[in-house]
Amino acid sequence: MLKNIELPENCSLSVHGTSYFPVEVQWGIVAREMARRALITGIAGQDGSYLAELLLAKGYEVHGVIRPASDETSERLRHVVGRIRVHRANLLDQEALSSLLKETRPSEIYNLAAHSFVPTSWSKPVEASEFTALGVTKMLEAIRHVHPDVRFYQASSSEMFGRAREVPQSEETPFDPRSPYGVAKVYGHFITVNYRASFDLYAVSGILFNHESPRRALEFVTRKITHGAASIALGLTSELQLGSLDAERDWGFAGDYVEAMWRMLQQDEPEDYVIATGESHSVRDFCEIAFERVGKKWQDHVVVDPKLVRPPEARKLVGAPNKAHDRLRWKPTVSFRQLVEMMVDADIARLRGAIPTQLPTDTSDQRHSC
């Protein structure tokens, strides 16, 4: 029998960005322990917090990135503080990103950081475009020069479809964005595709349709509705002002969607995927379920304010997640009704003092976003 062979200190093997640390050599076979390490930009956001939970549960070492001058280690991350490592970095600083990759040596990178509130992209188009578009290029450049074996996930968006040319929208549907945010996301999407083709990087884009949760910030119409219904139910207010009630979206649960992100990076070949429920619901539908949950009629409390309608409203957006179903074996587990009721229940609990009342907001713009 061969004796165990002690390998040199720090000796390791990297395959597709995953580090394998030798444990022992016996009968000519190297037994290796896989160290899975993930880096999440935008970890303090809704998606980042759910993704951090998922990866921790799967045994990953999780690193997150927040802005240098922010206090984003927020309520969303309170329950995982001490289990993740948070780094402050400017995503437009090429040198800082390169240093971060050298320090953390991740096997997977999830680029979730962006100005995600669509109306803000109208009031601050340059700032929104820089982070949402140029920030992707900076990260890809850092990967190319420092850690080309890493697997990279780019958060694309259904807002890229804008005035969609077909319904439902799939990976083959042409983009026609109708906001600076949507335009910036198209750039981020295509620069990811180009780096994959040009430099043989494992880089994918997830074209995620709207996904919500109790961790959504209050400026989003979904949280605005559930918080409003909860406030009215508790007698704290009597009216909820909204924009168009006819706007339709494909809404799913954020916790389901981060599972799809992870599955994309576990495939043999890098490809892009639409992640959606395949069902379309209106803002009116959302209101009906939310107020029904608290025993009220939405018609008695919802007031339409034309000033709150954002221009120009996109056409019907509903995803065709067939490819994700077939190849990722992914399907949503939370229904639309369950999602709305979950969010209402959480807002009632917050307002009753069970948990803090306010999640971080991204903007002071009052026009609601789907």
| Residue 28, token pair as written in the block | 């000519």
The answer to whether 259 and 330 are in contact (CB under 8 A) is yes
| Residue 229, token pair as written in the block | 């219904």
For 269, which DSSP code?
A: S
Active-site residue 103, yes or no?
Answer: no
β-strand partners of 22: 32
User: Alpha-carbon distance 167 to 363, whole Å?
Assistant: 31
Q: Would you state the torsion angle of the CA atoms of residues 86, 89, 95, 101, taken in this order, to the nearest 10 degrees?
A: 20
Active-site residue 248, yes or no?
Answer: no
| Residue 297, token pair as written in the block | 């009629």
User: Quick count: other Cβ atoms within 10 Å of Cβ 166?
Assistant: 11
User: Alpha-carbon distance 265 to 274, whole Å?
Assistant: 14
Strands 151-157 and 273-275: unpaired
Q: Which of 50, 181, 202, 273 is catalytic?
A: 181
The answer to whether 237 and 228 are in contact (CB under 8 A) is yes
Active-site residue 181, yes or no?
Answer: yes
User: Quick count: other Cβ atoms within 10 Å of Cβ 127?
Assistant: 13
**Count of CA atoms in the C-beta half-sphere (13 A) of 3:** 3
Q: Which of 108, 159, 212, 259 is catalytic?
A: 159
Q: Which of 107, 121, 157, 205 is catalytic?
A: 157
**Which residues are the active-site residues?**
157, 159, 181
